[in-house]
Structure 1
């Protein structure tokens, strides 16, 4: 198909992605990132079921999040230094073994008392820390493959944000379905299988060659380029701005999830919270895809401010519904600016990071979401105990306002650069 014709169709720009990366890359990368979306809810479900304690299940889910927040930047750093392929292969094996350790801690423990609790929580922490960071490292590959082509980069990052949204809707749904129909261990068996098969396939996919790490071999072949790479300064004062944006985004997510739990609980249907949250994720995924068609004259700094402002205004609607159907409508509306905001922050993060630190920065951005989600969930849960779901939704509103403030600061820094 001629390029002009392709770009004229609604999906024309996305048809370029398989041509750039190969037709197998999209399905492999999509399935390889599913385990990350299953772990937190899976740990909560499994440990709650076998221990009979919501507290232990909640602590285990928190341990997974903390482990991921610690391990993700480390995986990104080593991928920058040694290359994605070896780091991802090692991570896949380590993660599969840690999943087995969590299952052993759950089913081979007579009771959850004293040291046994710490063993289970330690296993959950290790499982989070070793989880392969497929989404951030896929973005690094796209940035390398679409270098100097802003339209293709926007398209690729829009797709990546949509893929993340869909997996974080599909992952928890799979956990709930498999745990309810068979047993709480089955989601972990599926996650282990996907990790060892699909993450390994992602690791060895030919696109890994598009990212050149600073290795001894590169130094030997291209000493001047390698020396320049090592000397490229990382302005962490600038990098921290998009990371702060992702922390605000994660806080919004965590607070909204817990507020929806409280909202559903007010009707005696707390188990519907996941379905309600999925509505927000779906509208966010659709608008993330639309970013590829936004005008190139609409700068990334302006996009961030506009999307964050829309989040801040629309999040106020969360305080209004008292019934399920109006809440569904509100969630659809609130989700609209979320996808474009995430796409824009990842793009800006890629712009302010040196090429040889892209993996580190992308995984830091992903970790920001994890940390913020834990923060938002904890604060909103505590407030919901006293002030109900509307109090918890105020935490989400506060997070979106914080996002707007960070976007303004980030816009000033980006424009200076």
Structure 2
């Protein structure tokens, strides 16, 4: 009888999650990515005004900002399963109601409230998936394998978000053009009911803790206000601002050329490149620490938005999008890696939800602002908004450089 080597018996992330975890987690976050653009499409079609559509998208983001972190805190306290089952059911009903309200004769303020509540109840599957994987890596894997595994799976998660945020608007466009403007929101409600439920019931879902366990393992909420963590949130809000402003200004750019419906496809050039480079982060040398990565990747986004200012035809627009894609995916991985490192004990889901909410808030706010700028001033002015978002990303990276300090450990997972 031969001995089994430790290498063959050591657990892996996939052995702990199972292969089906990843497609379930991927599809379950699709409604979240469809929500902002879906509400915009719904309201513009139903009420006939782009400005009102942008404001309702902003209300979705406001709802996420107000309640997203609270949903994450509830998951840390009571477990992900009950939290996701409750929010998923409520969100499905609210999305269906929102689609009905948009085409009804009810006043605008009712539509605003419905949009806010849809955002407020959005299940936070993406940050909770990150929380699950980070917990598995930190508790089940041998210490020497944790840094590379953390980098690899956070890179995968960011790439997954990139793919979803690229294809979410495409799916919205297909459903709205082939069926009706209400179809994307109703589709999001159905996907939420089916796949968020499946994600909630998956065996990786963290169980609720007893009062004694929470007291022993839950760090004080005040630790969520540490400057190092808050600057990470600022950085990811900047990425959200970039996403929202870039898609909206690109739509205006293509509308000027009589092809507004092609904006989602053109945007995919940046998204696909971004996803590829996000995955490539796992192969970066350990000496290239997170502290260095943030300002460098933000500078690449800034370079792309600089090229954007001189983009007067499609080839030059594609070039600027390609340059931005090299920076934005790796920057997302970097920011989520910082979030994983800086999570207070027992508050991983809260922190990841703060970051996911920041991304959605930035996206929805920038979409509303950029749409107004494009309508009132023009496309060239709208193209300045992504440049401003890139400057915020670079500036927050500089502040993080100071807060992190020169004594950071020089490993792939070090600050």
User: Do the structures match in fold with TM over 0.5?
Assistant: yes
Q: Deviation string for 1:87-126 (max 9, x for gaps)?
A: 001011111111121123134x2x35xxx22222211211
Task: Tell me how far 1:387 sits from its aligned partner.
Answer: 5.0
Structure 2 partner of 1:372: 362
Task: Tell me how far 1:214 sits from its aligned partner.
Answer: 4.5
- 1:190 maps to 2:190: no
- SS of the equivalent of 1:298 reads coil
Structure 2 partner of 1:68: 64
- 1:150 maps to 2:140: no
Structure 1 partner of 2:129: 138
Structure 2 partner of 1:350: 340
CA 1:49/1:83 → structure 2, altered by over 3 Å: closer, same or farther? same
Q: Superposition RMSD on alpha carbons, in Å? A: 2.4
- SS of the equivalent of 2:257 reads coil
Structure 1 partner of 2:39: 43
Structure 2 partner of 1:10: none
Distance in structure 1 (CA, Å) of the matches to 2:136 and 2:401: 26
Structure 2 partner of 1:11: none
1:385-400 equivalences in 2 (<5 Å): 385=375, 388-400=378-390
Distance in structure 2 (CA, Å) of the matches to 1:228 and 1:376: 38
Structure 2 partner of 1:234: 223
Is the CA contact 1:349–1:361 (under 8 Å) kept in the aligned structure 2?
A: yes
Task: Tell me how far 1:316 sits from its aligned partner.
Answer: 0.9
Distance in structure 2 (CA, Å) of the matches to 1:329 and 1:384: 22
Task: Tell me how far 1:354 sits from its aligned partner.
Answer: 0.9
Farther off after superposition, 124-133 or 389-398: 389-398
Task: Tell me how far 1:374 sits from its aligned partner.
Answer: 3.1
Distance in structure 2 (CA, Å) of the matches to 1:227 and 1:384: 52
Q: Deviation string for 1:183-233 (max 9, x for gaps)?
A: 222222321221111111111111113xx65432xx1xx5xx833534586
Question: Among residues 235, 259, 262, which one is paired with 1:269 in the alignment?
Answer: 259
Structure 1 partner of 2:318: 328
CA 1:195/1:378 → structure 2, altered by over 3 Å: closer, same or farther? closer
1:304-315 equivalences in 2 (<5 Å): 304-315=294-305
Structure 2 partner of 1:120: 111
Task: Tell me how far 1:36 sits from its aligned partner.
Answer: 0.6
- SS of the equivalent of 2:204 reads helix
Gap runs ≥5 in structure 1? 6-15
Distance in structure 1 (CA, Å) of the matches to 2:43 and 2:7: 54
- SS of the equivalent of 1:184 reads coil
- 1:33 maps to 2:26: no
Distance in structure 1 (CA, Å) of the matches to 2:387 and 2:262: 22
Structure 2 partner of 1:13: none
Structure 2 partner of 1:81: 77
Structure 1 partner of 2:243: 253
Task: Tell me how far 1:254 sits from its aligned partner.
Answer: 1.9
Question: Among residues 254, 274, 279, which one is paired with 1:289 in the alignment?
Answer: 279
Distance in structure 1 (CA, Å) of the matches to 2:345 and 2:297: 27
Question: Among residues 170, 176, 180, which one is paired with 1:179 in the alignment?
Answer: 176
CA 1:230/1:324 → structure 2, altered by over 3 Å: closer, same or farther? closer
Farther off after superposition, 60-69 or 236-245: 60-69
Task: Tell me how far 1:234 sits from its aligned partner.
Answer: 0.6
- SS of the equivalent of 2:346 reads helix
Distance in structure 2 (CA, Å) of the matches to 1:185 and 1:376: 23
Q: Deviation string for 1:310-338 (max 9, x for gaps)?
A: 22223211112211122112211211110
- 1:92 maps to 2:81: no
- 1:302 maps to 2:302: no
Distance in structure 1 (CA, Å) of the matches to 2:37 and 2:165: 10
CA 1:17/1:331 → structure 2, altered by over 3 Å: closer, same or farther? farther
Q: What is the number of residues matched between the two proteins?
A: 394
Task: Tell me how far 1:4 sits from its aligned partner.
Answer: 9.6
Task: Tell me how far 1:272 sits from its aligned partner.
Answer: 2.2
Is the CA contact 1:214–1:356 (under 8 Å) kept in the aligned structure 2?
A: no
Is the CA contact 1:18–1:26 (under 8 Å) kept in the aligned structure 2?
A: no
Distance in structure 2 (CA, Å) of the matches to 1:413 and 1:404: 14
Q: Deviation string for 1:47-84 (max 9, x for gaps)?
A: 22222333332232222221122221111011111111
Farther off after superposition, 22-31 or 67-76: 67-76
Structure 2 partner of 1:9: none
Distance in structure 2 (CA, Å) of the matches to 1:131 and 1:338: 24
TM-score normalised per structure 1: 0.88
